[in-house]
Amino acid sequence: MKVSSTLTAQNQHVTIRSFTQEGISEEMLTQILEAARRSPTSSNMQAYSVIVVRNPDVKQELAVLAGNQKHVETCPVFLAFCADLHRLKTVCELHDAEMTNNLETFIISTIDASLVGMSVQTGAESMGLGAVMIGAMRNHPREVAALLGLPQHVYVSFGMCLGWPDRDKIPPQKPRLPADLVIHQEKYDMTIPKSKIEAHNTELAQHYANLGKNLDVAAWSGVIARNLSRPLRPDLQVTLEDMGFNISGVGERA
């Protein structure tokens, strides 16, 4: 079998939420960001921006907006991955064109930001850094935008804490669903055997128990059922539309 350092790094992935005090050099961060900028991008639009935050006061405010997630404050570098239509709108104007804006441009920009974010995480982990993505940036999108000076047509899709892992607090890898539940051959397989879900619940419950956490519901399906039986971030669509993303429109001018 071929040996790949990329696959090895990916296979070792674990989310890190505890960091040492050591900083990340400008040189290393630039190296990681430069590699991530090679990520594929829809129609070469490059509809994303990354904001590098090192300022402790800003990180502290972001931590509060993310529901008091301590790691946002304690990481040496916080990255905000933004879906960005602002630059594209400006570019259209250079050509006396008005940018249209609908669900597709929202998805394009969100995917572009996600791909760059994932590349940063993979690159950072390959250098020995640890990372945690922060979807909680979408808890208060307007406040986050104001703090980071975002113009209309830009929102923080998710953030990422980067830092050197605290060796004493590296968690074991979190179990994943069995491959045949998530990888389908040729056609979608609609069978979802209960036994496989239960086996995953058992494995995940053991993982949490090893970390001293005992849940009052089935570790995977019970948590999913509890979380998804109420709408997630019900105000998000209205907020993002207000911030310039015409998600429910058919393609009006931005």
Ligand X SMILES: Cc1cc2nc3c(=O)[nH]c(=O)nc-3n(C[C@H](O)[C@H](O)[C@H](O)COP(=O)(O)O)c2cc1C
Query: Which residues bind to ligand X, rule: CB under 6 A?
Result: 14-15, 17, 69, 132-136, 158, 174
Query: At its nearest, how many Å lie between ligand X and the CB of residue 17?
Result: 6
Query: At its nearest, how many Å lie between ligand X and the CB of residue 87?
Result: 23
Nearest CA-CA partner of 172 in 213, 224, 131, 210: 210
Q: Given the complex with ligand X, which of 39 and 100 has the nearer CB atom?
A: 39
Our separate counts of H helices and E strands in the chain read 11, 6
Q: Given the complex with ligand X, which of 75 and 134 has the nearer CB atom?
A: 134
CA–CA separation, 2 vs 67, rounded Å? 43
Query: At its nearest, how many Å lie between ligand X and the CB of residue 196?
Result: 19
- Contact status, residue 246 vs residue 102, Cβ threshold 8 Å: yes
Query: At its nearest, how many Å lie between ligand X and the CB of residue 186?
Result: 27
- Contact status, residue 51 vs residue 79, Cβ threshold 8 Å: yes
**Cα distances (Å, whole numbers) of residue 35 to 76, 80, 116, 124, 176:** 20, 17, 9, 10, 27
Nearest CA-CA partner of 74 in 20, 25, 143, 32: 20
Q: Given the complex with ligand X, which of 120 and 136 has the nearer CB atom?
A: 136
Q: Given the complex with ligand X, which of 78 and 158 has the nearer CB atom?
A: 158
C-beta contacts of 194-203 below 8 A and 24+ residues apart: 197/221, 200/175, 203/175
Query: At its nearest, how many Å lie between ligand X and the CB of residue 217?
Result: 16
Query: At its nearest, how many Å lie between ligand X and the CB of residue 117?
Result: 8
Q: Given the complex with ligand X, which of 116 and 133 has the nearer CB atom?
A: 133
CA 35 to chain centroid: 18
Query: At its nearest, how many Å lie between ligand X and the CB of residue 13?
Result: 6
Q: Given the complex with ligand X, which of 81 and 101 has the nearer CB atom?
A: 81
Q: Given the complex with ligand X, which of 15 and 152 has the nearer CB atom?
A: 15
CA–CA separation, 68 vs 234, rounded Å? 20
Q: Return the residue nearest ligand X (CB atom).
A: 135
**What b/e sequence results for 144-173 when a residue is b if at least 16 CB atoms lie within 10 Å of its CB, and e otherwise?**
bbebbebeebbbbbbbbbbbbbeeeeeeee
